Structure 1
Amino acid sequence: MLASVLIGFREALEAALIIGIILAYLIKTKKEKYNNVVYMGITVAIIASIITAILFNVLAGGFEGRAEEIFEGIAMFLAAGILTYMIIWMSKQRNIASDLRQKVSKQLDNGQRYGLFFLSFITVFREGVETVLFLGAAKIVGESENNLVGALIGIMFAVFIGYLMFVGSKHIKIKKFFSVTSLLLMLFAAGLLAHGVHEFQEASIIPIVQEHVWDINPAINTDGSYPLLHEKGVVGSLLKGLLGYNGNPNLLEVIIWMFYLIGMLAFYYKK
C-alpha cells in the first residue's frame, strides 16, 4: 500500500505543480477568465483517466495461464520504462516554471483557448495514465488489494500540498523533494524489472539459469501465517510492493535489479 501512496502522491503532485503554475500565471497576467478552460481540461482528463483504469482492469482480467504471465511481464517492463523516462526527464528540468509560462503566454497571445485546454488536459491525463499503469504493476508485484486506497491517500495529500503552494502559504524545496522520490522510484522500477523477468521466466520465454541465489524467507508459522519478514508477511509484502523485495530471487533477477539500480544511480548523480 505504501508504494501506491508514493505513486499517487508523486504523480498527482507533479500535475498539481504544473496546473498551479498555469493558474498563477493567469492570475498574474489578469487573465482569470481563462481559468474555466483549465478546469475543463482537468475535468475531462480525470474522466479519461478513470475510463483508462477501467479498460486496463478489464484487459488485465482477460488473461489466464501463460498469456497472463506474458501480459504481466510486459506491464512490468512498460511501467519500469515509463518510470525511468520520468526520472530522467525530471532530472533535466531546470526551468520548468518559465517554460510553462512561455507556453501559456503563446497560447493566449494567439487566442488559442483550445491550446490552453489541451495543455491542462494532457498534463493531468498523462499523470493519470502513468498512475494506472504503475498501480497495476504494484498490484501484481505486491498482490495488495489496498492499492486504490493508498493511491487516493497520496493524491489527496498531493492536492493539499499543491493548494498550499498555490496560495503561497507554504514553500517546498521542489528539487530536493523530487530527488528523494526519484531515488525511491528507482528502487521501485528495479523491482518491476526483476519481477518482469520472473514473469517471462514463468512463461518459459527467458531461461531461469540458476534458481534461488539465496533464500532468506523465514519458515511459515505453525498456524499457517507468514512471519513479518517473509515476502508474504506484513513487513516483507510492504517491501515487496515498494522496493521489489524478493526473499528467494533467481540469478537473472538479481543481475537485472543490480545493473539497473547501479546504472540509474550513476546517471542521476552524474547529473
Structure 2
Amino acid sequence: MINAIFIVWRESLEAMLVIGVLSAWIARQSDRSGLQRTLWLGVLGGVLLAGAMAMLTFGAQNLLEGNALEIFQLCMVLIAAVLILEMLVWMRKHGRHMKQNLEAGAARAAEGSGQYGLALIAALAVGREGAETVVFLYGMGMERQGGALLELAWSAVTGIGAAAMTAWLVARGARYLNYRTLFRCSEVALLLIACSLIGNGVDRILGLDWLPMLSNSIWDSSALLDDSSRFGKVLADFAGYRAQPSVLLLMVYLAFWSASWWRLRDHSNGSGR
C-alpha cells in the first residue's frame, strides 16, 4: 500500500531526525559518558510506548462488535485524518526551530534531571511518532486480517527502510537533499492521504445511515477510470478518488481542503532543520 509506506516513511524520518539531532548534541558535550546509551534507552522506551498504543487499539477492537466496532473504526479514521493535518501545521510552525528547541531541551534536561531527562525527551519524541503511525495505519485498514494485514506490515517495514535510507542520504550531504525540502514536498501527498481517509470516513457514516447521501452521484467517470480498477483503486486509496461521488462527499472534500488551506496558510515558518 503506497499510502502506508509513505506515512511510515514520513513518521520514521521525523523520529530519525530527532534521534540524529540529540545524538549530534551528545557528541559535542565534554562529558558525554553514558549519554549515548541513555539516548538509545529513551528510543527503546518510545518504541515500547508505540507498541502499547498498538496493543490498546487492537484490544479495543477485539472487545467491540457490531455498530460499536463500526463507530470505533470511524473515529480512528477521522482522528488519523485530523492528526495528519495537525502534524503538518506543527511542522510549519516549529520545524525551522526544531533543532534548536531539541538541543535546548536536552541541555535543560541534562542539567535538571540528568540522563533520565534526556531519555524522557527521546522516549516522548519517538513514542509520539510511533503512536501517530499506529493511528494512521489503523485508519488505513489495520483492522484487516490475514494476507491484507501482512501486506500492511510489509508496507510498514518498507517505509522504515526507506526512511533510514533517506536519513543516511541527508547525513551524507546528498546534493539538493535536505529535511526541509523533503518535508515540504511530502505535504501535498500527506494531504491527499488525509483526504482519502476523510472519504473512507464518509463512506462509513453513510453505511451507518447517520447522514443522507444528498444525491447518489454528481457524475460518473467510470468509463474513463473506474475506482475498482487497479489504478483507480490505487488512486482511491491514496487520494480519495471516487468515480461516482455523492454531493455529501464533495461537500466534505471542499470543507477539508478549505480548512487545510486556512490552517497551513498562517504557519509557513518552514520545516526541517
Q: TM-score, structure 2 length as denominator? A: 0.86
Q: Contact between 1:141 and 1:244, CA under 8 Å: does it hold in 2? A: no
Q: Which residue of structure 1 lines up, in the alignment, with residue 18 of structure 2?
A: 18
Q: Which residue of structure 1 lines up, in the alignment, with residue 234 of structure 2?
A: 238
Offset, 1:68: 3.0
Distance 2:120 2:169 in 1: 25
- For the residue of structure 2 that corresponds to 1:95, the secondary structure is helix
Residue-pair matches, total: 261
Distance 1:198 1:65 in 2: 16
Q: Contact between 2:170 and 2:179, CA under 8 Å: does it hold in 1? A: no
Offset, 1:164: 4.5
Q: Which residue of structure 2 lines up, in the alignment, with residue 110 of structure 1?
A: 112
Letter in 1 for 2:9: F
Q: Which residue of structure 1 lines up, in the alignment, with residue 271 of structure 2?
A: none
Offset, 1:111: 4.5
Is 1:215 aligned with 2:220? yes
Distance 1:214 1:193 in 2: 20
Q: Which residue of structure 2 lines up, in the alignment, with residue 77 of structure 1?
A: 78
For 1:48-197, list aligned pairs within 5 A.
Answer: 48-93=49-94, 94-139=96-141, 144-145=148-149, 146-166=151-171, 168-170=172-174, 172-197=177-202
Q: Percent identity?
A: 24
Q: TM-score, structure 1 length as denominator? A: 0.86
Q: Which residue of structure 2 lines up, in the alignment, with residue 256 of structure 1?
A: 252
- For the residue of structure 1 that corresponds to 2:217, the secondary structure is coil
Q: Contact between 1:194 and 1:254, CA under 8 Å: does it hold in 2? A: no
CA RMSD of aligned residues (A): 2.5
Is 1:268 aligned with 2:264? yes
Offset, 1:234: 2.0
* Structure 1: runs of 5+ lacking an equivalent: 219-227
